[in-house]
Amino acid sequence: MAAFPNLGRATRSGVRLHSVKPWIIVYRPVTGGVEVLRVLDGRRDLDVLIGKKT
């Protein structure tokens, strides 16, 4: 990911998502690489995990 920081899907908030099944890596490109913000289990309900659903 550090070699290709724009590889993942961009979101409106400026972070990127990259899937390595079953994981979803939430990151942002930074100078010289990436900053990993979260690693989520893609088998879970992601809307609940990030607070979009109750």
pLDDT, tens only, 4-39: 999 999 999 989 999 999 999 999 999 999 999 999
Gap between the Cα atoms of 13 and 24, Å rounded: 16
| Extents of the domains making up the chain | 9-44
Query: What pLDDT score was predicted for residue 45?
Result: 80
pLDDT of residue 43: 87
pTM of this structure: 0.79
Sequence-ordered list of residues with C-beta below 8 angstroms from that of 10, at least 6 positions apart, any chain: 16
pLDDT of 31 reads 93
